[in-house]
A and B are shown apart, each in its own frame.
Chain A
Amino acid sequence: MAGGPSKEMLAEIASRPGRDTLISSAVKYVFIALSLGFLAALLFAPLATVFITALSKGWEMYFESFKDEDTLAAIKLTLTVAAIVVPTNTIFGIAAAWAIAKFEFRGKSFLITLIDLPIAVSPVISGLVYVLLFGAQGWFGLWLQERDISIIFAVPGIVLATMFVTFPYVARELIPLMQQLGNDEEEAAITLGAGGLMTFFHVTLPKIRWGLVYGVILCNARAMGEFGAVSVVSGHVRGLTTTMPLHVEILYNEYNFVGAFAVASLLTLLAVLTLIIKSLVEMKRK
């Protein structure tokens, strides 16, 4: 359907007799009501709860929750982990997308499946594999212990587990985009004598930048919000190895609901921001 029917035609179809029968408008309102009802119960109510509970004892108590030392440490750790994981996975994503989208080689679809693997694997498994490698009874456990290096129940383990979980996001965003854009412009640039890096920065990057922005933002949101994988490797040492989502769990289990939902509200705002950027990126693409 190249181009699709024109606006006038759609308007004409919409105004045809029989289109707006009693039944069809009834179906329409039932569908809208079902959709909104389902989303209200499952999505809107929980989102509202986060902010209402966080603010249930007033703004002062809300801001007071962020003065807690352990909360601040959790925020700092989350930012540190994201600052390591997101750039690394971005570089991987760009490299993988370049190799996969620009060249034809054998085993390509298998490689794509492997890249997607972390999305299909349970977050608990993502943490478990690193415990099996680096934990006290793991493959390298003894070797690490002799050298006094701790990975599990320490920050490196959290970084690795987060990297595993958020590994595919940038690549998944870029591969289809770069495949769709084709190679013509890059080939022209190379033929005219541009180097590889110059071609990438001046020809490819401007074309893919909005897709890249979205991939990075999504990777960041998942990195900051990861719970299962990080929970397995963290050891939950308060103020030392608890990221924001883990800190939410600790506060919640201590019945400190204002504190738990206050930290949760920051994470919710992060998710909202991610979606806003996504919408902006989609608008830019059109």
Chain B
Amino acid sequence: MSFRQPSILPGFGLTLGFSTFFLSAIVLVPLAALVMKTATMGWSDFIRVVTDARALASYRLSFGASMLAATLNSVFGFIIAWTLVRYEFPGRKLIDSLIDMPFALPTAVSGIALTAVFAENGWIGQYLAPLGIKVAYTWIGVVVALTLIGLPFVVRSVQPAIAEVQRDLEDAAETLGAGRFTIFRRIVLPTVFPALATGFTLAFARAVGEYGSVIFIAGNLPMRTEITPLLIVIKLEQFDYKGAAALGFIMLTMSFVMLLSINLLQAWSRRRMVAAGR
């Protein structure tokens, strides 16, 4: 088999050459520099840096908060997507377009705005403070920021899948005496699940790397409210390039794993769609 199938269209060499060159120059070579910098550290140095107590605490917060945020997003993202697809209400179109807002809004803006809202004297924070719930400058604030950032990923993944659920099947099940919960579990969930899993993974991947919106609301106390990307920035500010590279390498590896799982999940949901004859 040859490298490419014949075509009469021109420009293959030029466009492929240009895009792979540009991709290498801007993305691949710099990423390789990170890997190489990490490789210049000894194995024991590497282990010491990435298993340092402060680093471990930062992973716990970054991954724990991202997991929680992605879970919240899966629940509320499903509810929002369902509402937008199935129900007609005034302002539906407007809400639908606003779902992409966290994606278009600069993260620094969402960071300072969320902090203002959830601070002890903020619009929402003032009602939570008497209940003993502190959001801003605690790990809860980190979860709130990551939830906002990840929301569009879940809603946009799940929306088309909900539109695919066959309503006549739901009706048939209802006629045959199935309860609402059974219908949800047996008909809706199997159709929507691959998309929901994709959305969860996308939201999680985005949350793990997020920096801008978190650092304003987190308070950034070492060991307590310090996310891994912030720890990298701190190491860079102390000119500890190797330490920064080592932590960066860990995060990069995570990103690769996430990207791989997203591709597999998407392939899975596509196969299910095809298998269902749609």
Contacts and interface: CB of A to CB of B under 8 A. Distances in A.
Nearest to A129: B30
Contacts of A103: 4-5, 7, 9, 12, 16
A37 to B, nearest CB: 9
A116 B229 CA distance: 20
A36 B5 CA distance: 51
A264 interface: yes
A150 B114 CA distance: 36
Interface in A233-286: 244-246, 248-249, 252, 257, 260-261, 264, 267-268, 271, 274-275, 278-279
Nearest to B62: A122
Interface in A91-105: 92, 95-96, 98-99, 102-105
Interface string B94-124: 0101101110111111101110110000111
Nearest to B144: A42
B161 interface: no
A174 to B, nearest CB: 12
Contacts of B123: 45, 49
> Majority SS of interface residues in chain A?
helix
B259 A113 contact: yes
A98 B4 contact: no
A82 interface: no
A117 B120 CA distance: 39
B215 to A, nearest CB: 8
A122 B106 CA distance: 15
B196 to A, nearest CB: 16
A121 B229 CA distance: 11
Given A39-B98, A53-B116, A130-B30, A115 B106 contact: no
B193 interface: no
Contact of B7 (A102, A122, A261): A102
Given A41-B117, A95-B22, 8 more contacts: A27-B180, A122-B229, A138-B33, A231-B233, A248-B106, A249-B108, A271-B109, A275-B100
